[in-house]
Structures are given as structure tokens and as C-alpha cells.
A and B are shown apart, each in its own frame.
Chain A
Amino acid sequence: MTDLSTNAKSVAQSAELAAQIAAANSFPPEPPARPVRRAIKRVLTDPLGLLGALIVIVLLLAALFSSWISPQNPYDLAVLDIMDNRLPPGSESFSGMTYWLGTDDQGRDLLSAILYGLRTSIFVGIVSAGIALVIGSVMGLVSAYFGGRTDTLVMRLVDIQLSFPPILVALILLAILGQGVDKIIIALVVTQWAYYARTVRGAALVERGRTYVDAARCLALPSRMVTLNHILPNCLPPLIVVATMRVAYAVSLEATLSFLGIGLPVTEPSLGLLISNGNKYMLSGDWWISVFPGVALLLLIVGINLVGDRLRDVLNPKFKD
């Protein structure tokens, strides 16, 4: 940032001398700072971060275009042929289609089922994490900014929430609400918002104590602007890290619930349900029904976690250990 040439101008006695000195001191200008681009670059230059990002992107694209790239619509019972059930990978159907990953006990093409299941899992994970993030962040910010009783109330609620095992809370909720994508999202939001609230509150408390917040208050900016424009953006790094990890957690929680048979309806299997369906055939040698959805789930969670780990290192060095 030192512009040595302007320094020279102000001290040198003659313009000619100043020009010569300035010419000798010209440094190439520093590239402009682009914090977001820099963070992304630093995630992608790490081999593991890059691997994670690649896995996540491929799986995201596959899920997004599942209805186009799937050989079969696995939710359309009309195209399923029960005669094709439990065919090993690479088998050909009666109508001449190849089941690259085999079929399940309903005669569903597993590749198609996994792609559609991936779509459901990612959708549920991202939407529930997103809603939980918004609710949790608002609660955390309110808690940190107002302090006192509000803070006590919110944080005790968080404590209570976190003291129950999430799976238990979700089980109870689903038992009351019944099955369905919307119901499972509600259950996931209820079990997850507290994590965000705690993270945001902690970060916001630190930020609130910093001088720039004093400065903003001294400039008579309203509380709404101070919290939303000043405090919240500075809480984002830990929030982003927690959010990535929580998406992975939401996906696996949904899979668990579906595996237990209380998540999504059997007609629209998610990855968890596919694994569960194949589970009973594992011992009879039909391994593929469980293993392939399992691998897809594993890849998704590992991918997200790799990106999340690297993000944590990049965004918040203090978080490291």
C-alpha cells in the first residue's frame, strides 16, 4: 500500500528530482483484494479440498439432472417390472435395458433409484439446514445483541434442545407428524437450529465487543443496521463452516430415519430407504442393493465434510484445533 512515489514528491526539492526518484521506486500495483475468490481458491488448491469439491459438484449435478440422466423413472410404478427384481449389476432387462448397478427387490433400476434418492437426500439436507440456519442465526443474533433475559431464555432453550439426542427428537416428531418430505424437514430443522443459534451467538458476542461496533453506535446507526450489516457478516465464517458440516449431518440423519422406516414413503425411496430395503438381502448374497446406495451416501457425506474441513481452515484459522 505504500505509494513511495508520492512520498518522494512531497519531500524532493525539485520536480525533476522527484520524477527521477519516483521512477526508480515504481513497484507493480498490488492486485485488488477479492476475499471470496481468494477463499474459494484456497479451498480448491488443497488436494483434499479439491477432491471434496469435485465429489460434491458431481453428486449435485447428478441429483439436479437425475430425471434426465436416469435410465428409468424409479418412482413410476408402471415402468417397474417385478420380474426384474434383485438382478445383479450388468443384467439386461426383458425390454433390453441394462441395469448397470442391478435392481432392487421391486425390480427398480438401482442407478436410477440412487440418482433420485440422491436428489431427495440433498434436497432434504440443504433445505432443512437452510431453514435451521435462518432460524438459528436470528435467535443467536437476538440473544447476543439484547443479552439479559432474552439471552438467558434463548440459550436455556438451546441447552434443552441440545441435551436430547437428535435422533430421539426426530423419532418423536415423526411419530406425531407422520411421513413425508415436509415432515422430515420440520423434524430436521427442530433438531438442528440450536447448533446455529449457539455458533452465531458466540461469534456475535465476540464481534459486539469489537471497536467497530462501538464506532457504528457512535455514528448513531440503528440497532438493526449494526446487527445485520456489521455484526452478522463478521459472524459468517464460523457459520458457513458449521452450515456445511450440518448439511452432511442432516443428510445422514435423514438416511438414518429412512433406514428405520419412518422417514420418507416407500414409493419414493431416498438413499437411506434403499439401503434399508437391501439390508435383508445382504446375507443371501444380493449385496448390491445396499452397497451402491451406501457408497453414494458415503461419498456425499465425505465430500461435504472435506470441503467443510478445508473451509474451516481457510475462514477461521483459530478454529483449527
Chain B
Amino acid sequence: MTSDPQANPATDQVADKQQTPLLEIDHVTRRFERKPDFAAKLAARLGAPINRRTVHAVDDASFAIHRREVVGLVGESGCGKSTLGRIVAGIDNPTEGRILYNGQDVAHVSSRDIDQFHLKIQMIFQDPLDSLNPRYRIGKSVSEAARYHKVVPELEMDAHIEKVLLQCGVDPATQNRFPHQFSGGQRQRIGIARALAVRPEMVVCDEAVASLDVSIQAQIINLFMDLRDEYDLAYLFVSHDIGVVRHISDRVVVMYLGRIVEQGSTAELFARPNHPYTQALLGQVPSLKRRHSSFHTIKGEIPSPLKPPSGCHFHPRCPHAMDICRQARPPLKNVASGHMAACHLNDQS
């Protein structure tokens, strides 16, 4: 089942883009705030300075995911990519902004229908063992939600679960076993089966292959691709692994310290990265072709999200930093068709 680029001609994609996206993230911000407790309030009354620690985990992020599309969300630790993934999956809520599913604002869905919306977007987690209830036999883990939400009639449930397990490469005869009796790769397959059992339209993969062995990673990536063909799934693929993201994604969104700095089609982005951070990050694609290389690394560390630098967050590490970078946040601008970047260097041209 080689995915054939010919099967998806450019004209189709243009037509696709004009439809309502499956999912739209519209100016989403997520702040984590440590609210002052009683003692802190009392201390403040007595004149102690209030230490309000606010983290902008996600700062005004917007992008869309279309049906059958794989969007890679990349960035380093603390860039907010996992938080954004959790918001999309409905586990966390945005402080500001909207999540539109099929054009409908999820926040305004009636409480009766909200479950159906949540089911349409499922999530695969980084740690397959921790994501399975250790006291559930895996058959129950996979079938519980499908049964509760009556995804298929009860009479067909066993057959449905068996089919999903088989598709994910799990022997249905092992349904009575507990998670600890499986290997890491098998557990991840079980997690995927659990998500698929409720018939989602979109799957958020949060570092879903990061904890797996190299040879198992390839198996799981292939499984993701097969399932997309089978079910027309869209993926939000959250990962720090540039190699995996380049392989699997149609489009890539790059985040740095809570902000989207660049997004565009995978081919375009890797061929012509615009933002200096993207250039540095994509320069680190792991490959066997780079040997005994002398490194051109970007300097410095990722700043603390508690005290992000002013203006463009990247300016302290940026080789092209100018005065304006320290003062103003660069807006996301189109640099080519479907390719946007947030960098003041683009203002000049």
C-alpha cells in the first residue's frame, strides 16, 4: 500500500482547500496562571509583591486541518505544541479563541451533542503504557467508550472491536491480557485501536512514536498511513522529530515559545524555510547522509516560558536580529502561496 502522489492531484487539493476545513484553530491562546491562594492574598495585603506567574503556553495560534490531511506540529520542549494538541483533542480548553469543527464552534455545541464532537477527534499519547488503565484488560480498554457511546449496536460490538484490533495489528485472542503483558509497540497499537474504535475523523498524535524503538517506529508510522487510507483520517502529528514529521506530513506548523513562527506545505517549508528558527531546526533533520559533520548549531538555550524575550521571542538566538525584533512581535505573513512566516526580515522585501 504505497501512497501514490498521483492519487492526489494538485487540482483536487485546491478544491479541498476551498471547502470548510475539518478543523480550524482560530486565534487560540492558552494561559496557565497560578492564582494567588489565601495566604498569598493575605501577604499581598500586608505589602508583599504579588508573584503572578503566567505562562503563555499557546499564544494566538491559528491554523486549519483539512479532511485526510496530515499536519505536523513541530518545535522544541516548552513551545506549547503538546498543549495545543491537547486543546484540539478536547482534553484542555483554550483561554481565548475558538476551535471550529466542520465550521461549528465547539464551545457553542449543546451539552447533549458535545460528546459526539469529542469522539470525532481522538488522541494517541507518547507513553503507551501510561495511557492504558493498568487494571483493565485490553479488550475492555478498547471497547469501553465504543460501548458507552453505542458506536455500533451491541450485537455487532464484538465483531467491531475484533476488526479494529486486527487492523491495528493486535491479535484479538489477546484481549484478556493486561497492558503490562505487551511490548511497547503492541501497547501503542492497542492505544490506536482504542481511538479508532469510536470512529474518529481526526487523530492527534502527541509524540506517538517518540518512545518506541527504531524498528517499531517504522511499523507504527506505516500503520498511521494505512489507517489514513482506510478511514480518510486527518492527523495532527505533534512531534519534535523533524525526520518523522517530514516523512508523514502534508503540511508543517513550526512553533517557538507558544507562537507559530512558520507554516506551509512540507515540500515548500523544507525547500525554502523562511524563519531563521525554522532554518536552524530543519537543519537538524537526522539523516545517515550527514556524516562526521562539523556542526552549525544555533546558539543558546530556549528561554524560560515564564519570562519570554520581548518582541520576537527568537531574537536572542537569532543571527539576523535587528532593533525592531526586540520591540515588536512580527505578524504571520504570506511569503508564498500557503506559506506563512512571522519574521521582520520579510518586512524589508
Indicate if A touches B (C-beta under 8 A): yes
A residues lining the B interface (CB < 8 Å): 1-3, 6, 30, 32-33, 35, 210-212, 214-221, 225, 229-230, 233-234
Find chain B residues with CB under 8 A from A2 CB. 183
Do residues A220 and B186 form an inter-chain contact, with CB atoms below 8 A?
Answer: no
Distance in angstroms between the alpha carbons of A217 and B114 in the assembled complex: 12
If A211-B125, A218-B90 touch, whether A33 touches B198 (CB-CB below 8 Å) is no
Do residues A221 and B144 form an inter-chain contact, with CB atoms below 8 A?
Answer: yes
Find chain A residues with CB under 8 A from B149 CB. 220
Distance in angstroms between the alpha carbons of A3 and B145 in the assembled complex: 29
Distance in angstroms between the alpha carbons of A33 and B194 in the assembled complex: 21
If A32-B176, A215-B125, A219-B194 touch, whether A3 touches B131 (CB-CB below 8 Å) is no
Residue of A nearest to B37 (CB): A152
Tell yes or no: B118 within 8 A of A by CB.
yes
Do residues A220 and B182 form an inter-chain contact, with CB atoms below 8 A?
Answer: no
If A211-B127, A234-B134 touch, whether A217 touches B181 (CB-CB below 8 Å) is no
Do residues B191 and A1 form an inter-chain contact, with CB atoms below 8 A?
Answer: no
B317 CB, min distance to chain A CBs, angstroms: 32
Do residues A33 and B123 form an inter-chain contact, with CB atoms below 8 A?
Answer: no
Do residues A220 and B115 form an inter-chain contact, with CB atoms below 8 A?
Answer: yes
Find chain B residues with CB under 8 A from A212 CB. 130-134
6 A-B residue pairings within 8 Å (CB atoms): A1-B174, A215-B131, A216-B145, A217-B90, A219-B122, A220-B119
Closest 9 CB pairs of A and B: A219-B145, A211-B131, A220-B118, A220-B115, A211-B130, A212-B133, A233-B135, A211-B125, A218-B123
Residue of B nearest to A215 (CB): B131
Residue of A nearest to B116 (CB): A220
Identify which of residues 139-192 in chain B touch chain A, using a CB-to-CB cut-off of 8 Å. 144-145, 148-149, 171, 174, 176-178, 180-183, 186, 191
Do residues A218 and B122 form an inter-chain contact, with CB atoms below 8 A?
Answer: yes
Tell me the interface secondary structure of chain B in the complex: loop
Distance in angstroms between the alpha carbons of A1 and B134 in the assembled complex: 17
Residue of A nearest to B149 (CB): A220
Distance in angstroms between the alpha carbons of A298 and B197 in the assembled complex: 55
Do residues B181 and A33 form an inter-chain contact, with CB atoms below 8 A?
Answer: yes
Tell yes or no: B79 within 8 A of A by CB.
no
Distance in angstroms between the alpha carbons of A276 and B62 in the assembled complex: 77
If A1-B186, A220-B149 touch, whether A214 touches B123 (CB-CB below 8 Å) is yes
Do residues B135 and A215 form an inter-chain contact, with CB atoms below 8 A?
Answer: no
Find chain A residues with CB under 8 A from B89 CB. 218
B4 CB, min distance to chain A CBs, angstroms: 24
- Additional A-B contacts beyond A33-B180, A211-B131, A214-B125 (18; CB < 8 A): A1-B174, A1-B177, A1-B186, A6-B171, A35-B135, A212-B130, A212-B133, A214-B91, A214-B123, A215-B132, A215-B191, A218-B91, A218-B121, A218-B122, A219-B119, A219-B194, A221-B144, A233-B135
Do residues B183 and A234 form an inter-chain contact, with CB atoms below 8 A?
Answer: no
Residue of B nearest to A209 (CB): B130
Tally of A-B Cβ pairs under 8 angstroms: 76
Residue of B nearest to A231 (CB): B133
Find chain B residues with CB under 8 A from A32 CB. 176-177
Do residues B145 and A220 form an inter-chain contact, with CB atoms below 8 A?
Answer: yes
Identify which of residues 210-234 in chain B touch chain A, using a CB-to-CB cut-off of 8 Å. none
Find chain B residues with CB under 8 A from A210 CB. 130
Find chain A residues with CB under 8 A from B90 CB. 217-218, 220
Distance in angstroms between the alpha carbons of A229 and B143 in the assembled complex: 14
Find chain A residues with CB under 8 A from B191 CB. 215
Distance in angstroms between the alpha carbons of A56 and B274 in the assembled complex: 74
Find chain A residues with CB under 8 A from B198 CB. 219
Distance in angstroms between the alpha carbons of A286 and B101 in the assembled complex: 84
Residue of B nearest to A237 (CB): B135
Distance in angstroms between the alpha carbons of A210 and B125 in the assembled complex: 11
Distance in angstroms between the alpha carbons of A126 and B289 in the assembled complex: 69
Do residues B144 and A1 form an inter-chain contact, with CB atoms below 8 A?
Answer: no
Most interface-central of A211, A214, A221 (chain B CB within 10 A):
A211
Distance in angstroms between the alpha carbons of A138 and B180 in the assembled complex: 29
Do residues A3 and B127 form an inter-chain contact, with CB atoms below 8 A?
Answer: no
Distance in angstroms between the alpha carbons of A3 and B86 in the assembled complex: 35
Distance in angstroms between the alpha carbons of A317 and B24 in the assembled complex: 46
Do residues A33 and B177 form an inter-chain contact, with CB atoms below 8 A?
Answer: yes
Find chain A residues with CB under 8 A from B91 CB. 214, 217-218
Residue of B nearest to A219 (CB): B145
Do residues A3 and B171 form an inter-chain contact, with CB atoms below 8 A?
Answer: yes
Distance in angstroms between the alpha carbons of A216 and B127 in the assembled complex: 15
Distance in angstroms between the alpha carbons of A1 and B187 in the assembled complex: 11
Residue of A nearest to B186 (CB): A1
Residue of B nearest to A3 (CB): B171
Distance in angstroms between the alpha carbons of A219 and B174 in the assembled complex: 22
If A2-B183, A33-B178, A214-B91 touch, whether A221 touches B145 (CB-CB below 8 Å) is yes
Residue of A nearest to B178 (CB): A33
Distance in angstroms between the alpha carbons of A32 and B181 in the assembled complex: 10
Distance in angstroms between the alpha carbons of A218 and B86 in the assembled complex: 9
Distance in angstroms between the alpha carbons of A89 and B90 in the assembled complex: 73
Distance in angstroms between the alpha carbons of A220 and B123 in the assembled complex: 12
Find chain B residues with CB under 8 A from A217 CB. 90-91
Do residues B123 and A215 form an inter-chain contact, with CB atoms below 8 A?
Answer: yes
Most interface-central of A210, A212, A214 (chain B CB within 10 A):
A212
Find chain A residues with CB under 8 A from B174 CB. 1
Do residues B118 and A230 form an inter-chain contact, with CB atoms below 8 A?
Answer: no
Residue of A nearest to B90 (CB): A218
B107 CB, min distance to chain A CBs, angstroms: 16
B126 CB, min distance to chain A CBs, angstroms: 8
Distance in angstroms between the alpha carbons of A112 and B123 in the assembled complex: 64
